[in-house]
Structure 1
Amino acid sequence: MPRTFVITGASSGVGLAAARQLAARGEQVVVVGRDPRRLGAAMAAVRAAATGPEPDEFRADFNVLDEVRELAAELLAAYPKIDVLANNAGGMVESYVRTADGFEATIQGNHLAPFLLTHLLRGALDGGRVVNTASRAHQRARLDPEDFTGSPGKYSSWRAYGASKAANILFAAEAARRWPEITSVSFHPGVVRSNFGVGAATRFFYRFAPFLTTPEQAGELLTWLSTAEVADGAYYVGHKVTRPDTVAADPAVAARLWEASAAAVGVRAAG
């Protein structure tokens, strides 16, 4: 029987590659994206690869938390049982932006929104799995687990991105502790050439960075982590469990981040 895989950030890059691979295996693939045009193109590619159920699509902007809440309600109505939630949506914001919800845009889009979505889908995920796309960028993170607004005067796109990726790792580790009925992992997909960051700094980095990972290669890793036997709560680099750097390996920080995130998005913090 096909399993249900919900993949956010699946309009392009890693998410789209994994969606195509899972659809080719005959699984029920649910694609979540923000831009209608890109989402439509992605769905055409996933449908072309599918050998099982008709792929499905949903749209939401993760920088608007009410859209995340609406997305969760729509997903639950259509799929009362979800086997895997791949929290893959994310990006880098060149300049400081505060969302309508009052948070810095990078930490909201990359952490608070998937944190909220996962909580709202928790019942449907019972016995299933959550896979968070993180990054080695967390290694230089300066994460304050109780500050989601930041400061315009001190903003750095790379530091904000790194902090959000540290949050992805901590979220998976703490979810494994609080929700033993759901397997939770995070991973570094490699340095993938994609359009997640569109500023000059990112273009310069892509031009000179060696050993870029293709979206297909990173998608294969996401597919493997979604289907293979994995270590609950672990952070993966490739197929290997790896200890995260400094703050992202601290259980006390993970607990503080969980409590603060729950308060920020309006969900219960209890396990």
Structure 2
Amino acid sequence: MRTVVVTGASSGVGLAAAEQFAAQGDQVVVVGRDEARLDAAVARVRAAGGGREPGRFRADFERLADVRDLAGWLLDGYPAIDVLANNAGGMVGEYRRTVDGFEATMQSNHLAPFLLTTLLRERLAGARLVATASRVHTQGRPDPGDFTGGPDGFRWGRAYGAAKSANILFAAEAARRWPDVTSVSFHPGVVRTNFGEGPVRLVYRFAPFLTTPEKAGALLVWLATTPATAAVGGLTNGGYYVGHKVTTPAPHAADPAAAATLWDASAAAVGG
């Protein structure tokens, strides 16, 4: 039985994927921010797994102390983690600085999952890392010299694009630094879900022609379970996927030097 940790699993893509993992017989750990939604998600994952009790942990990724608590709990309770789905995050409608001193979009989408993954490194030998990125990465690039920014000139789309670029760069750099880990990122489609804040949330709930969470969740599961040898039709380690095809991201998200710089700056920022 595999152990699968899904962050942002209390709704949307993460919940759909967690249910599908459970239905396959995996031991799923459900991580979410909101207590009530997390309880409801655990009940759904339990039912999908035929009554198998999932792990449950509440963590707000805008608080790095919560991320460290989550990592400690996982290290204490699970001798191996076979899949880590870094799915938590979202759009922030206006500038907000976290208690840790970082812009909220960058922290919740990149710095927090970066910290979680590096803290869990000892449990990830032979594991699969899957990061939920976005085609919106084309709209922004991370600044390794400034993860804080400020309200002047803040644009939620650009901030989200920068964070999603960071996801792609991190997945690719993890593949280079940790050859025993298969690490990929993906665009889930524009998913109908309870996502973002204010007007952004209305778009993701009611706009036509959106992808269902179940379809996007199935893609996440496919990325987590497909053989890792590209030569026999498996995954490309470090690749960015749109659908089932590895795709070249925007140039600023495909630069190994930028990825290495971002990694080192992220490690310095969160303190490991």
Contact 1:171 1:254 in 2 (8 A): yes
Alignment of 1:7-156 (within 5 A): 7-51=6-50, 53-156=52-155
TM-score, structure 2 as length reference: 0.94
1:223-247, Cα deviation, whole Å (9 max, x unpaired): 0001112111000000000000121
Contact 1:76 1:121 in 2 (8 A): yes
Equivalent residue letter for 2:209: F
Contact 1:90 1:196 in 2 (8 A): no
> Which whole-Å CA distance do the structure 1 matches of 2:142 and 2:150 have between them?
13
Tell me whether 1:214 sits opposite 2:219 in the alignment. no
Q: Secondary structure at the match of 1:118?
A: helix
1:149-193, Cα deviation, whole Å (9 max, x unpaired): 012111111111110000000000000000001111000000001
Q: How many residues align?
A: 265
263, 266, 269: which one pairs with 1:258?
263
Alignment of 1:133-212 (within 5 A): 133-204=132-203, 207-208=206-207, 210-212=208-210
Pick closer, same or farther for the CA change 1:201–1:10 going to 2, 3 Å.
Answer: closer
Equivalent residue letter for 1:227: T
Cα offset, 1:142, TM superposition: 3.2
Contact 1:25 1:51 in 2 (8 A): no
Cα offset, 1:206, TM superposition: 5.5
Pick closer, same or farther for the CA change 1:35–1:207 going to 2, 3 Å.
Answer: closer
Pick closer, same or farther for the CA change 1:201–1:58 going to 2, 3 Å.
Answer: closer
> Which whole-Å CA distance do the structure 2 matches of 1:185 and 1:37 have between them?
31
> Which whole-Å CA distance do the structure 2 matches of 1:200 and 1:180 have between them?
42
Q: Secondary structure at the match of 2:179?
A: coil
2:230 corresponds to: none
1:47-89, Cα deviation, whole Å (9 max, x unpaired): 1110474211111111110110011000111112000000000
Pick closer, same or farther for the CA change 1:14–1:201 going to 2, 3 Å.
Answer: closer
Question: Which runs of no fewer than 5 residues in structure 1 stay unpaired?
Answer: none
TM-score, structure 1 as length reference: 0.95
Contact 2:138 2:161 in 1 (8 A): yes
Contact 1:146 1:256 in 2 (8 A): no
Q: Secondary structure at the match of 1:167?
A: helix
RMSD of equivalent CA atoms = 1.3
Equivalent residue letter for 2:29: V
1:190-240, Cα deviation, whole Å (9 max, x unpaired): 0001122122144246644x5310000000000000111211100000000
Identity of aligned residues (%): 68
Question: Which runs of no fewer than 5 residues in structure 2 stay unpaired?
Answer: 228-234
Task: After superposing the two structures, state which structure 1 stretch, 127-136 or 144-153, moved more.
Answer: 144-153
Contact 1:24 1:52 in 2 (8 A): no
Equivalent residue letter for 2:226: A
Contact 2:194 2:204 in 1 (8 A): no
